[in-house]
Amino acid sequence: MTEIWIKEVIDGNKKYKRETILNYVINRWGLNKSSSVSKIAELIRECSPKSLEDWKKYYFSNAVQNKKKGNRITEEYIENLGKTAYKDLIEIVKPEIDKITEEEFIDYIFNLVIDRTYNGYITEINVIFNKLQENFSLKIESASDEWDRRYNVDYYIKVNNKFIGLQVKPIASGKSINDYQWERMHSDAHKKFTQEFGGKVFFIYSKEVKKKKEIFNIDVIEEIKKEIERLS
């Protein structure tokens, strides 16, 4: 008989009705970390089990908490983890949930969608700005609001009495520069900038690489250096 808390079973995997909450509690207190349940991925590869029962026997015969003076893991220990998680749910999580108001949820959604998205975008722009500055002896300055609106430039480099414009554009994961039309969209404004200030406008594209923000079109640095030489 299937337990009443099980939503469905697919290919032997139980899908729990309240799995989101269960996962939250387990992750919040790190009850699924190797310090609690050993290095599970390594153990099952060492075991190479032919059946679920093989794996269960191997695990309880070899699993040890991954920490100094870690204890051997038993079925009783795993049961106590479940009891601990339930205790934390009832004594800590449930009271927290009861205190949440509708106003708090509304404020959180606005903050998540608007504020955090904007702050993340600005942070990315600043990271790319700092990486860009490392490559030049001349100071990169922030463009005024007027220049931003009129010429579509975020930053500039002053070379003698002329200026080079820079525009930073983050690229979403899974997309390439060719997926965007920024250069075509801003070509007239950038031509006007060049006519008035002598220097070209360059796009600097940023992209997340291994969880770090990096300059995607790295060749642009050499192009900017050549432009600096031309205007010097």
Taking all residues of the chain, what is their mean pLDDT, rounded to a whole number?
90
**Which residue intervals of the chain bear CATH 3.40.1350?**
128-231
3-state helix, strand, coil in the chain (%, to 5): 55, 20, 25
Give per-residue pLDDT as tens, 66-86.
998 899 999 999 999 999 999
The answer, yes or no, to whether residue 1 has pLDDT greater than 60, is no
C-alpha–C-alpha distance, residues 224 and 200, integer Å:
9
C-alpha–C-alpha distance, residues 95 and 81, integer Å:
21
The answer, yes or no, to whether residue 3 has pLDDT greater than 90, is no
**3-class state of residue 33 by DSSP:** coil
Number of other residues whose CB lies within 10 A of the CB of residue 56: 13
CATH of domain 128-231: 3.40.1350
Confidence of residue 107 (pLDDT cuts 50, 70, 90): very high
Where helices occur in the chain by DSSP H, the ranges are 19-28, 34-37, 40-47, 52-62, 75-88, 94-99, 102-110, 116-133, 145-151, 182-185, 187-197, 220-231
**Which is higher by pLDDT, 219 or 123?**
219
Report the percent of the chain where pLDDT is more than 90: 68
pTM of the model: 0.62
